[in-house]
Chain A
């Protein structure tokens, strides 16, 4: 990494004390909440009895990772406005999960998307889906690990690798031992910390650079626009074609629908009405903090363009911390660092918890239903720790921007899981052959065209676009939908396969999770709807293969 200036706290003790105090708070909240939870179901769904406001905050905290503090601002520095346009639609995740399948899975009593896939498509499909979900969670955790190492690099001035191993292992150990306790209450508190420690310091930074709207940072920075346009006239340019903006929908909007740790939050609601209220709170809080991150990115670009601030490429992920170091007192920066670590912690514990549940519940307990509860729990703990360890090892050679691996994981979830859940909830004909074909072939295509495996086989050649999975998902997501629908439709009509299918129980499951007590053949059975989906998907996939002109 290029070092033009060494950005770090001059008083690391202060930073460590603040970080330590935050950890202590989480531990106490976890300890107190944990005394109430007694079963494994409590552990994963908080007893299914969480209020709408707490749940909405927890949803937002789980969703907002370290990327909010470090990653987004870095890519705004790099890509400018197109990246803001890309990020805006991420707010759709929980609302779309709730209306498309969240309430149905809540009614069913599923505590993970893989649980639904197992009941709907059988064991083989659910294990394939679980394996892909583990990869998704590890890539997601990787982004958090990079962020944590960068944060400690700035905090203590220690090299990246040392910070990665020492603090990575401490945090993974913390999550393995205590992080599973009171996860929802902690996530809600973390959301408040994230919001305060991001927005208040931003206001102070804006005041320091002379913005008059510092009292409401998320939206009131228009008086900086003329100076920005003067020194960097291209800042507001869209730069890319409509095709690039369209590819965001399959990659990230649909991708978010397949993220395991996110959907799990919908099931913690005490009832369906509460789940719907939680989505309202989620949208309000997330919109507030997202808008503040765009403002932070804007101020960062503004400071480099007009105030002579120099930030090297290697330091881009540190933009938020650097702005605080330059314009705010050190104790404020220490609070910001604690906020960044909270953000990473809530998401990382969500990811690692998902890995633990996937391996112990969705794979091992599915294959060997008779293993003792104690062994199963122990496997869960080992899986959580191993997942953390793998993400640490992957972070040794990190991608250029920490957000890239996270957004790539969205696409993989969108290819391998989202179609199975969406079509599985809304179309009775979807069956296990379609599901397996969609997940395996779609997932393989997505991985092959990513720049990480065969760098020469990519769709656009534009590094960040391929790396974030925008181009890959625009091809693989529609292929996955087509395979699921077409293969199911054909295999349902092959007499030789009828004994291997579970049509009647599939039909009963679908009617039940939509709230019906009777069965009607016309419901959730539209061949026209399936046909339209295939035609639209085919058009999108062909469009993805045509030249991107980037």
Chain B
């Protein structure tokens, strides 16, 4: 039960986080900001930076958590006492 809940929650929250980080332009279209950052308008450069480094950072987090959840599913499977090991290739 625990690993299942984690898997579902991870997928929902991670998907939401990716969509948010990739669509900062949508946020600024609702809440405009009139400021400059690194010589660019904030509403221009922040979506670009988030769409690169923000997404890059999230892929690292998603990879780590995804691997851990796989391990937890495996260990719950093992706890079942199923004898025939079917590890994913």
Within 8 Å CB of A517, what residues of B? Answer: 77, 80, 82, 86
A99 to B65, CA, bound (A): 10
Contact A290 B15 (CB under 8 A): no
B26 to chain A minimum Cβ distance, whole angstroms, is 4
A399 to B64, CA, bound (A): 43
Q: Which of these, B47, B56, B60, B70, contacts A85 with CB under 8 Å?
A: B47
Q: Which of these, A222, A280, A288, A294, contacts B60 with CB under 8 Å?
A: A280
12 A-B residue pairs with CB within 8 Å = A81-B44, A88-B25, A89-B51, A91-B51, A103-B70, A106-B88, A253-B22, A280-B56, A284-B56, A287-B51, A291-B52, A514-B73
Whether A5 sits at the interface, judged by CB under 8 Å, is: no
Whether A516 sits at the interface, judged by CB under 8 Å, is: yes
Contact A271 B88 (CB under 8 A): yes
B58 to chain A minimum Cβ distance, whole angstroms, is 7
A333 to B46, CA, bound (A): 32
A81 to B32, CA, bound (A): 14
A236 to B30, CA, bound (A): 15
Contact pattern, B 18-56, Cβ under 8 Å of A = 1, otherwise 0: 110011111011101000001111011101110111011
Apart from the given pairs A82-B25, A107-B88, 18 other A-B contacts in the complex at a CB distance below 8 Å: A84-B47, A92-B19, A95-B62, A96-B18, A99-B66, A100-B11, A236-B43, A238-B25, A246-B26, A248-B26, A276-B66, A287-B52, A290-B52, A291-B48, A426-B8, A515-B74, A522-B4, A523-B4
Within 8 Å CB of B19, what residues of A? Answer: 89, 92, 96, 249, 253
Within 8 Å CB of B74, what residues of A? Answer: 515
Contact A279 B80 (CB under 8 A): no
Q: Which of these, B29, B45, B53, B63, contacts A287 with CB under 8 Å?
A: B53
A518 to B82, CA, bound (A): 9
A259 to chain B minimum Cβ distance, whole angstroms, is 16
Within 8 Å CB of A85, what residues of B? Answer: 25-26, 29, 47
A89-B80 CB under 8 A given contacts A95-B59, A223-B39 = no
Contact A245 B62 (CB under 8 A): no
Residue of A nearest to B44 (CB): A236
Residues of A within 8 A of B (CB): 48, 81-82, 84-86, 88-89, 91-92, 95-96, 98-100, 103, 106-107, 219, 222-223, 225, 236, 238, 240-242, 244-246, 248-249, 253, 271-273, 276-277, 279-280, 282-284, 287-288, 290-291, 294, 426, 514-518, 520, 522-523
Q: Which of these, A98, A290, A291, A515, contacts B88 with CB under 8 Å?
A: A515
Residue of A nearest to B37 (CB): A222
Contact A92 B18 (CB under 8 A): yes
B61 to chain A minimum Cβ distance, whole angstroms, is 10
Contact A273 B59 (CB under 8 A): no
> Chain B, interface size: which category?
35 or more
Within 8 Å CB of A82, what residues of B? Answer: 25
A98 to B58, CA, bound (A): 12
Minimum-distance CB pairs A-B, first 8: A222-B39, A287-B52, A85-B25, A88-B51, A276-B63, A89-B22, A245-B26, A92-B22
Residue of B nearest to A90 (CB): B22
A245-B77 CB under 8 A given contacts A271-B89, A283-B59 = no
Q: Which of these, B28, B40, B43, contacts A222 with CB under 8 Å?
A: B40
A88-B47 CB under 8 A given contacts A95-B62, A276-B63 = yes
A292 to B88, CA, bound (A): 38
A426 to B8, CA, bound (A): 9
A59 to chain B minimum Cβ distance, whole angstroms, is 12
Residue of B nearest to A223 (CB): B39
Contact A276 B47 (CB under 8 A): no
Contact A222 B38 (CB under 8 A): yes
A6 to B89, CA, bound (A): 56
Contact A88 B30 (CB under 8 A): no
A407 to chain B minimum Cβ distance, whole angstroms, is 16
Within 8 Å CB of A244, what residues of B? Answer: 29
Residue of B nearest to A270 (CB): B89
A279 to B29, CA, bound (A): 29
Residue of A nearest to B66 (CB): A276
A273 to B4, CA, bound (A): 19
A249-B23 CB under 8 A given contacts A222-B39, A520-B4 = yes
Q: Which of these, B18, B43, B67, B86, contacts A238 with CB under 8 Å?
A: B43
